[in-house]
Structure 1
Amino acid sequence: MADFQTWEYKGYTFHKQVKKEALEYIENMEVFDDDIWLCTYPKSGTHWTLQILYLLQVDGDYEKMLEQGLGAKRLPPLELCIDKPDGSISYSYKKYEQLESPRLIGTHLPYDFLPRQVFEKMTKIIYVARNPKDTAVSMYHFFKPTMKKMMNVDVDWNQFFQIFMSKKSPFGTWTQNVLPFWKRRNDENILFLKFEDMKKDSLESIRKIAAFTGRSTSTEVLQNIVTNSSPEKTKKTMVVSDDADIQALSPGAFVRKGIIGDWKTHFTVAQSEQLDEVLQNDLKGTDLEMMFQ
């Protein structure tokens, strides 16, 4: 099985680019009252949702978003630590601390690893969940070129599927990340969204995000945001990011197809049934249902 160089901490699996000192610092970091925390399992619509949030700041005007440098403010996830060739480490949390308020903070951290002040101040959290089959395929296409470039290791889909299904997945299991947020979906400071619902009715989903973040606006503006947060426009925005770590982090696509059901081009019948069985067990009694096509 391919080695994703993971480590264990407090019952969770983390990628080697998440370090203990960063997790300990984040636990006690200062949180601002007007922060918006975007929490996701990797490859679940993170950058699409960021695009929507940035566009809401400029009434859906894509060119204005670029002119104001909002797209260029995109940073790697809060917890990420990039090892530099000179032996130094670039800590993403330090970059977020330098952002002016109001801050958009993106993270793949499990619920229990968020800063204490998030819970004390009831900071606004948007959580986006994507069905695990499409998530797995998107993660595969992101990590495959990364491992080839950084470790000269070729990973095929069958190898990656085994890792995704195991406790050695580089960001923990899908249910470990999703379920704690789902259980708190009715908290007033949490907006729980499903990627598939966002695709099926983008206008209504963006309306919910606007209302939650205090940026309720006209249907015309919301429709402009639907248009300007397309996968093509979001990919274009990612290109202009001025963060060196975003540019060098991975040759894999941060934004790929952005569709529902691409898992059917990769999963075998046996693999699909295996994941279905795991989900049936893990989601029993939770009322969480995901759309797969």
Structure 2
Amino acid sequence: MENDQNQMNSADKQKKPGKGLERMMLQKVDGVNYLRFDLQEDLQHLLELVRKIPTRADDVITIGFPRSGNHWTFEIVSMILSQTTDFHKDHFYSRILEYLGCNVAEAVANIPSPRNLTTHCRIQYIPEEAIQNKTKLIYILRNPKDVLVSLYKFVCSLSHSGSEFNGGWEEFFELQMLGEFPWGYWFDHVLAVEEFQKEHKECPVFVLVYEKMKEDPVAEIDRLCKFLNQPTTLSGQIAEVTQFSRMKSELGRTKMSIQGSNHFKNGPDDILRKGIVGDWKNWFTVSQSEAFNELFENKMAKSKLGSLVREYLK
């Protein structure tokens, strides 16, 4: 029996990456594939370092599956915390904890308060002190179909070695249905938050629904301001300056220009793409949509967070 288990483990380690993943630098952590980009360090070690980061009383940590509106939320939260309508001088990518390297603690320590931090990893990888200190957490929730389309376009646009997805939409969709693509199942990412809320009822978690933010940004920014103990005076102005087309134009000519030129085939346009609701209908076939809906119901039937986006799957 032990020999059989060893053979299974060996076979699993030697398993070839799914079709389309051959050129991507991946590392599996807790059964989930993650994209390493150009990191030289072991990702498991980096996540352990993130867990040990000291936190401050006024920290805010945003958690979101990639392409859920993380960049947009970063700018909105930064404006709320600083009570300004100016875009933050620091880049969103400079605040993603798992990609700040072995000096992550030092890098984060040098950020002035109030610190607006973020992660694409599952909620269990946030700093341990964030739980002890009841740090304010924001979870971004978006229709997974739109998330997947945006993620597909994103990985196809990456230009640097080790991050290239070598497949089409069909291959990408199949990998998602199997949970083999980087960052794993969207479902598990969301369900981890619900489990966290059950285990840590004392920790404040604000669930930001992307579609609701698009429908009524002022009202949602008002809610976010109250959660962050900030005045709502600038809510209307923040909603105005962070309209997607306006934000894309402003950031594309400023802090995103270098990032876009260095890492994306089409420059800044690949970072902030469309920002619309329902683009999935231009990509999913009828059979793909039905298969995904079935998987969604199997995974999220009893999920309160899942119920917040179910209407957008139709």
TM bracket (short chain)? 0.7 to 0.9
Q: Which moved more, 1:243-252 or 1:171-180?
A: 243-252
Contact 2:46–2:102, Cα closer than 8 Å, also in 1: no
Contact 1:51–1:234, Cα closer than 8 Å, also in 2: no
The letter for the 2-side match of 1:241 is K
Find 1:271's aligned residue among 279, 284, 288: 288
Distance 1:188 1:122, change over 3 A: closer
Find 1:206's aligned residue among 200, 221, 226: 221
The letter for the 2-side match of 1:271 is Q
Q: Which residue of 1 aligns with 2:255?
A: 241
Q: Which residue of 1 aligns with 2:11?
A: none
Aligned pair 1:79/2:98, yes or no? yes
Contact 2:149–2:280, Cα closer than 8 Å, also in 1: yes
How far did 1:57 drift?
Answer: 4.0
Q: Which residue of 1 aligns with 2:132?
A: 120
Please give the alpha-carbon distance, in whole angstroms, between the structure 1 residues aligned to 2:206 and 2:151: 24
**SS at structure 2 position matched to 1:192:** strand
Q: Which residue of 1 aligns with 2:68?
A: 44
Please give the alpha-carbon distance, in whole angstroms, between the structure 1 residues aligned to 2:204 and 2:28: 30
Higher helix proportion: 2
Aligned pair 1:35/2:49, yes or no? no
Please give the alpha-carbon distance, in whole angstroms, between the structure 2 residues aligned to 1:273 and 1:40: 25
Please give the alpha-carbon distance, in whole angstroms, between the structure 1 residues aligned to 2:190 and 2:114: 26
The letter for the 1-side match of 2:129 is Q
Percent of residue pairs identical: 25
Please give the alpha-carbon distance, in whole angstroms, between the structure 2 residues aligned to 1:223 and 1:20: 41
Deviations 1:229-284 (A, max 9, x none): 11123222254228976763444722111111000000011111111111101102
Q: Which residue of 1 aligns with 2:274?
A: 257
How far did 1:155 drift?
Answer: 2.8
Instruction: State the structure with bigger RCO (CA 8 A, min sep 6), 1 or 2.
Output: 1
Please give the alpha-carbon distance, in whole angstroms, between the structure 2 residues aligned to 1:251 and 1:72: 22
How far did 1:118 drift?
Answer: 1.2
How far did 1:74 drift?
Answer: 3.0
Contact 2:131–2:203, Cα closer than 8 Å, also in 1: no
**SS at structure 2 position matched to 1:125:** strand
**SS at structure 1 position matched to 2:98:** coil
Q: Which residue of 2 aligns with 1:11?
A: 31
Please give the alpha-carbon distance, in whole angstroms, between the structure 2 residues aligned to 1:223 and 1:267: 35
The letter for the 2-side match of 1:37 is I
What are the ranges of 5 or more consecutive residues in structure 2 without an aligned counterpart?
Answer: 1-18
Q: Which moved more, 1:23-32 or 1:132-141?
A: 23-32
| Matching of residues 195-234 of structure 1 within 5 Å | 195-218=210-233, 221-234=234-247
Aligned pair 1:189/2:207, yes or no? no
What are the ranges of 5 or more consecutive residues in structure 1 without an aligned counterpart?
Answer: 82-88
Contact 1:79–1:93, Cα closer than 8 Å, also in 2: no
Contact 1:38–1:107, Cα closer than 8 Å, also in 2: yes
How far did 1:167 drift?
Answer: 2.5
Distance 1:90 1:233, change over 3 A: farther
Distance 1:28 1:182, change over 3 A: same
Contact 2:50–2:104, Cα closer than 8 Å, also in 1: no
Q: Which residue of 1 aligns with 2:79?
A: 55
The letter for the 2-side match of 1:51 is E
Q: Which moved more, 1:32-41 or 1:246-255?
A: 246-255
Please give the alpha-carbon distance, in whole angstroms, between the structure 1 residues aligned to 2:29 and 2:102: 21
Please give the alpha-carbon distance, in whole angstroms, between the structure 2 residues aligned to 1:58 and 1:44: 23
How far did 1:131 drift?
Answer: 0.9
The letter for the 2-side match of 1:111 is I
Please give the alpha-carbon distance, in whole angstroms, between the structure 2 residues aligned to 1:103 and 1:243: 24
Distance 1:96 1:73, change over 3 A: farther
Please give the alpha-carbon distance, in whole angstroms, between the structure 1 residues aligned to 2:52 and 2:82: 32
Q: Which residue of 2 aligns with 1:156?
A: 168
Find 1:140's aligned residue among 152, 166, 175: 152
Please give the alpha-carbon distance, in whole angstroms, between the structure 2 residues aligned to 1:247 and 1:37: 28
Please give the alpha-carbon distance, in whole angstroms, between the structure 1 residues aligned to 2:47 and 2:264: 22
The letter for the 2-side match of 1:72 is D
Q: Which residue of 2 aligns with 1:84?
A: none
- TM-score, normalised to structure 1, is 0.85
Distance 1:210 1:113, change over 3 A: same
Please give the alpha-carbon distance, in whole angstroms, between the structure 2 residues aligned to 1:34 and 1:246: 31
**SS at structure 2 position matched to 1:75:** helix
How far did 1:217 drift?
Answer: 2.1
Contact 2:49–2:102, Cα closer than 8 Å, also in 1: no
Q: Which residue of 2 aligns with 1:110?
A: 122
- TM-score, normalised to structure 2, is 0.79
Aligned length: 277
